[in-house]
Chains A and B, each alone.
Chain A
Amino acid sequence: MSTARDPQPAAPRTSSGPGRALVAVYGLFALAATARGVTQLVTQYAEAPLAYVLSLVAGIVYIVATVTLARGTATSRRVALVAVTVELVGVLTVGTLSLVDPEAFPRATVWSAYGSGYGFVPLVLPVLGLLWLRRTRPQPATSASTSSSSSE
């Protein structure tokens, strides 16, 4: 099944154990946000272009996070870290703006009001994602000065 080479067999993979459930939730939001964004852009682009483009961007971020967390290789961990960070910044920014300046977001996105339309899962998810990436990182020999791996 697992064809990917793991340079650090001791470290748990991001797709294993609790990561299984995390990837499932990410996959669900990848589907929800992408479908929502595409539908809105196709049918009612003129009503709220910014909100709808953001919906689609959120969907793409979720897709990237889902795939990279499910793969769990050294490279995909790095991409996952970027995707999950963008996700956290996105939900905080859009969430705040949608409350402070509602006119900028006349139509809801997954990140509006910190994802209140989705049980605040969009707000919790990136935090769990970052914690999980931290938990599953390959154990370095020394904490601070680790010689970086050859594949950069």
Chain B
Amino acid sequence: MIAALAYSVCALALVSMAWGLVTAVLDKPPGKAQLLYAAGLEVVVLVQSVIALVRLGAGFRPVELATTIGYLVGIVVLLPVAWFWANSERTRFSGVVLAVAAAAVAAMTFRLLVLWVAR
């Protein structure tokens, strides 16, 4: 985990969450820019997980290894699943679905950062 990257992921995810809630309040399905933003967020999340997994492969051992690996893998599937679920019925609640996934990404990234301490 790189602290600067992790904080960036948190910030980007919180924007995505707020965006989803805004379109929900405005009673609109997510727009194209919003969906592209979520896809971009997913790319950054992927990069972060790959970097962290490579470091684990190189021998870094955090306090809770199994939990860390679980988070690094689990965080990658959230946005794609939410994307599919949000688009299969496009209403204001699609934005809420994206917001839920984005909030989870932010929370999990923060937790990963806390766990990333050498044993």
Contact = CB atoms under 8 A, between A and B. Distances in A.
A42 to B, nearest CB: 7
Interface in B46-95: 66-67, 70, 74, 77-78, 81-82, 85-86, 88-89, 91, 93-94
Contacts of B85: 20, 23-24, 27
A139 interface: no
B12 interface: no
Interface string A51-77: 000000000000000000000000000
A20 B82 CA distance: 10
Interface string A1-37: 1000000000000011110110111011001100110
Interface residues of A, number: 19
Nearest to B69: A39
Interface in B82-119: 82, 85-86, 88-89, 91, 93-94, 96-97, 100-101, 104
A56 to B, nearest CB: 14
A143 interface: no
B82 A24 contact: yes
Interface residues of B, number: 20
Nearest to A16: B89
Contacts of A31: 74, 77-78
Contact of A43 (B66, B77, B78, B104): B66
B88 A1 contact: yes
Contacts of A21: 93, 96-97, 100
A20 B81 contact: no
Nearest to A19: B93
Interface of B: 66-67, 70, 74, 77-78, 81-82, 85-86, 88-89, 91, 93-94, 96-97, 100-101, 104
13 contacts: A16-B89, A17-B91, A18-B93, A20-B91, A24-B96, A24-B100, A24-B101, A28-B78, A28-B100, A28-B104, A31-B77, A35-B74, A39-B67
Interface of A: 1, 15-18, 20-21, 23-25, 27-28, 31-32, 35-36, 39, 42-43
